[in-house]
Chain A
Amino acid sequence: MLVSLSALLYFCALFKMNPNKNRKQKMTRNYPLAVLLLVLALFSCDDNEGLPEVEAPSSYSFERNSQSTVSFSGQTTRIKMAEELNSAFLDFDNTTEALLLEMFRNDDGQGGDVSPFEDADLNSATKSIKSKVAASQDLFAANTTESSQIKAQFESWIAGQINEIYPNRNQLATAGNAGQLADGTSTRYVNAKGLEYNQAFTKSLIGGLMLDQLVNNYLSTAVLDAASNKEDNNAGVLADGKNYTTMEHKWDEAYGYLFGNAANTASPLTELGSSDSYLNKYLGRVEGDADFAGVAQEVFDALILGRAAIVAQQYEVRDAQADIIKQKLSEIIAIRAVYYLQQGKIALENQQYGTAFHDLSEGFGFIYSLRFTHNPIAGDSFFSREEVDQMIDDLYGSTNGFWDVDATTLDAISASIAAKFDFTVAEAGN
Chain B
Amino acid sequence: MRKIVSLFLSFALIMACSSSDGEPTEVADNFDRSAMLVNWADNIIIPSYEAYASAVADMKASTDAFTTQPSLTTLGELRNNWLQAYTAFQSVSMFEIGPAESVSLRNYTNIYPTDAAEIESFVASGDYNLTLPSTIDAQGFPALDYLLFGTADTDAEILVKLSSDSYSTYLSSLVDRIETLSSQVLSEWKGSYRDTFVSNSGSTASSSVNKLVNDFLFYYEKSLRAGKIGIPSGVFSSTPLSDRVEGLYSKEYSKGLFNASLNATINFFKGKHFESESTGESLEQYLRYLSELNSTEDLSVAIINQFEAAKSAVSQLNDNFYFQVESDNSKMLQAYDELQKNVILMKVDMFQKLNIRIDYVDADGD
In the bound complex, how far is the Cα of B135 from the Cα of A180, in angstroms?
11
In the bound complex, how far is the Cα of B256 from the Cα of A352, in angstroms?
33
In the complex formed, the residue of B with least CB distance to A430 is B361
**CB <8 Å contact, A170 and B134:** yes
**CB <8 Å contact, A187 and B3:** no
- A1-B3, A36-B11, A39-B7 known; A185+B129 contact, CB < 8 A: no
Chain A positions within 8 Å of B4 at CB level: 4
**CB <8 Å contact, A354 and B10:** no
In the complex formed, the residue of A with least CB distance to B136 is A185
Chain A positions within 8 Å of B363 at CB level: 184
Chain A positions within 8 Å of B107 at CB level: 182, 184-185
**CB <8 Å contact, A172 and B131:** yes
Check if B27 is an interface residue, CB within 8 A of chain A.
no
Interface residues of B in 101-145 (CB under 8 A from A): 104, 107, 111, 129, 131-134, 136
Task: Return the contact of A180 from the options B6, B104, B132, B364 (Cβ within 8 A).
Answer: B132
Contact with B along A314-345 (1 / 0, CB 8 A): 00000000000000000000000000000000
Check if A35 is an interface residue, CB within 8 A of chain B.
yes
Interface residues of B in 233-261 (CB under 8 A from A): none
- A1-B3, A4-B3, A185-B107 known; A180+B133 contact, CB < 8 A: yes
Task: Return the contact of A39 from the options B14, B111, B366 (Cβ within 8 A).
Answer: B14
Check if A313 is an interface residue, CB within 8 A of chain B.
no
**CB <8 Å contact, B132 and A172:** yes
Least CB distance, A198 to chain B, in whole angstroms: 11
Chain A positions within 8 Å of B3 at CB level: 1, 4, 43
**CB <8 Å contact, B7 and A40:** yes
In the bound complex, how far is the Cα of B245 from the Cα of A176, in angstroms?
40
Task: Report the contact-size class of chain B (Cβ under 8 Å from the partner).
Answer: 10 to 19
In the complex formed, the residue of A with least CB distance to B104 is A182
- Between B3, B6, B364, the greatest number of chain A beta carbons within 10 A of the residue's beta carbon is seen for B364
In the bound complex, how far is the Cα of B227 from the Cα of A185, in angstroms?
13
**CB <8 Å contact, A180 and B366:** no
Least CB distance, B261 to chain A, in whole angstroms: 17
- A182-B107, A184-B363, A185-B136 known; A43+B131 contact, CB < 8 A: no
Contact with B along A28-70 (1 / 0, CB 8 A): 0000000110111011000000000000000000000000000
**CB <8 Å contact, A170 and B129:** yes
Interface residues of B in 334-366 (CB under 8 A from A): 363-364, 366
Number of A-B contacts (CB under 8 A): 49
In the bound complex, how far is the Cα of B366 from the Cα of A36, in angstroms?
45
- Between B104, B131, B133, B136, the greatest number of chain A beta carbons within 10 A of the residue's beta carbon is seen for B133
- Between A181, A183, A185, the greatest number of chain B beta carbons within 10 A of the residue's beta carbon is seen for A185
In the bound complex, how far is the Cα of B136 from the Cα of A183, in angstroms?
12
Chain A positions within 8 Å of B132 at CB level: 170-172, 180, 187
**CB <8 Å contact, B133 and A39:** no
**CB <8 Å contact, B111 and A42:** no
In the bound complex, how far is the Cα of B133 from the Cα of A210, in angstroms?
33
**CB <8 Å contact, B11 and A277:** no
**CB <8 Å contact, B133 and A36:** no
In the complex formed, the residue of B with least CB distance to A285 is B364
In the complex formed, the residue of B with least CB distance to A340 is B364
Interface residues of A in 272-300 (CB under 8 A from B): 277, 281, 285
In the complex formed, the residue of A with least CB distance to B134 is A187
Chain A positions within 8 Å of B133 at CB level: 180-183, 186-187, 354
Contact with B along A163-196 (1 / 0, CB 8 A): 0000001111000000011111111000000000
Chain A positions within 8 Å of B104 at CB level: 182
**CB <8 Å contact, A185 and B7:** no
**CB <8 Å contact, A39 and B10:** yes
In the bound complex, how far is the Cα of B23 from the Cα of A271, in angstroms?
38
In the complex formed, the residue of B with least CB distance to A171 is B132
In the bound complex, how far is the Cα of B10 from the Cα of A172, in angstroms?
61
In the complex formed, the residue of A with least CB distance to B127 is A170
**CB <8 Å contact, B10 and A42:** yes
**CB <8 Å contact, B366 and A277:** yes
Least CB distance, B226 to chain A, in whole angstroms: 12
Task: Return the contact of B10 from the options A43, A180, A181, A183 (Cβ within 8 A).
Answer: A43
Interface residues of B in 1-39 (CB under 8 A from A): 3-4, 6-7, 10-11, 14
Chain B positions within 8 Å of A183 at CB level: 133
In the complex formed, the residue of A with least CB distance to B128 is A170
Interface residues of B in 253-281 (CB under 8 A from A): none
New contact pairs (12) apart from A185-B136, A187-B133, CB-CB < 8 Å: A1-B3, A4-B4, A35-B14, A36-B11, A39-B14, A42-B10, A43-B7, A170-B132, A181-B133, A182-B136, A186-B133, A187-B132
B: residues with CB less than 8 A from A are 3-4, 6-7, 10-11, 14, 104, 107, 111, 129, 131-134, 136, 363-364, 366
For the complex of A and B, the 9 pairs showing the least CB-CB separation, nearest first, are A182-B133, A187-B134, A187-B133, A39-B10, A39-B7, A39-B11, A180-B134, A180-B133, A185-B107
A-B contact pairs, 21 of them (CB 8 A): A4-B4, A4-B7, A36-B11, A38-B14, A39-B7, A39-B10, A39-B14, A40-B7, A43-B3, A43-B6, A170-B132, A171-B132, A180-B134, A181-B133, A182-B104, A183-B133, A185-B107, A186-B133, A187-B136, A277-B366, A285-B364
